Amino acid sequence: MGGNTYIYTLIIECVFMKRMPLPLCALLVMLISCTGRTNDLDRSGIEGKVKSITEHQFDATARDGRWVAGNISYFGHHVLNYNQDGFYTGSIALTQDGDTIGYTTCRRENGYLIEEVFHSSAGDNNSRTLMDRLSDAEENFEIWNGNQLQAEGANYFDSKGRITRQVRVVNDKEVVYQFVYEKNLLVANYEEEVTGERTSAQQFEYEEFDDRGNWTVKLVYKGEEKISPIVVIKRELEYY
């Protein structure tokens, strides 16, 4: 999560998949769910005892020779909550006006997150993700919308508990996502066909940090070149 938190829960992807860049959606609960015997904050490289992380998504705008936050996105605003032991406990998705779109709840077994449910404020599109942890390095998952299976697959983790690879099957099509880190920050996310052909990419650049060393401004680039960012994400961290 240091670069991973980014984001939101995968369950909310069912709501935002047509409105948010795909790799951003792909980061959701899978980056949150890499939780085992150490807490989520430690695994994600976040410093300090964090109570909540609030993120806001903006269009990227060029101003005075640098890229800054432009128009605020209607979607893409969320709050991730953590308990005093550093474990993720749930999230809230908001519009730009602060209206609640929905919220998530979690269920754990033996320290691992095994179920996360998204509750839509509209009373529809309630979804859940089920995780089956096979080892410290691998887990299977299923994404359900009501009684309909939307996607399934597997996540693979490194020695720090960060997701490095995800294999997802949707409508009988298998897609692979690769995640690249530098130190504690996620710097790239690639989508590939099973043949290894790269079909999509996003890169991340971190511009500002708070006094604890946690990032507060991130640029999101589409493609394999950092030419023009498409999104600026601002993050506020509340500490215990």
The CATH number covering residue 198 comes to 2.40.160
**36's tokens:** 């085992």
Q: Three-state DSSP class for 170?
A: strand
Q: Is residue 125 part of a domain?
A: yes
- As for how many domains the chain has, the answer is 1
Q: Is residue 1 part of a domain?
A: no
pLDDT of 184: 86
Q: Is residue 146 part of a domain?
A: yes
Answer for the pair 54, 5: CB distance below 8 angstroms, yes or no: no
pLDDT of 8: 36
Say which residues have a Cβ less than 8 Å from residue 102's Cβ, sequence separation at least 6.
12, 15, 92, 93, 118, 119, 120, 121, 122, 125
Q: Is residue 3 part of a domain?
A: no
Q: What is the pTM of this model?
A: 0.83
**Which residues of the chain fall below pLDDT 70?**
1-37, 124-125
Q: Is residue 62 part of a domain?
A: yes
Q: Is residue 95 part of a domain?
A: yes
Cα dihedral across residues 50, 94, 209, 207: positive or negative: positive
Q: Is residue 4 part of a domain?
A: no
Q: Three-state DSSP class for 26?
A: helix
pLDDT of 18: 39
pLDDT of 77: 87
Give the tens place of pLDDT for each residue, 78-107.
Answer: 899 999 999 999 999 888 888 898 898 999
pLDDT of 208: 97
pLDDT of 20: 41
Q: Is residue 68 part of a domain?
A: yes
Range of the domain at 185: 10-239
pLDDT of 237: 97
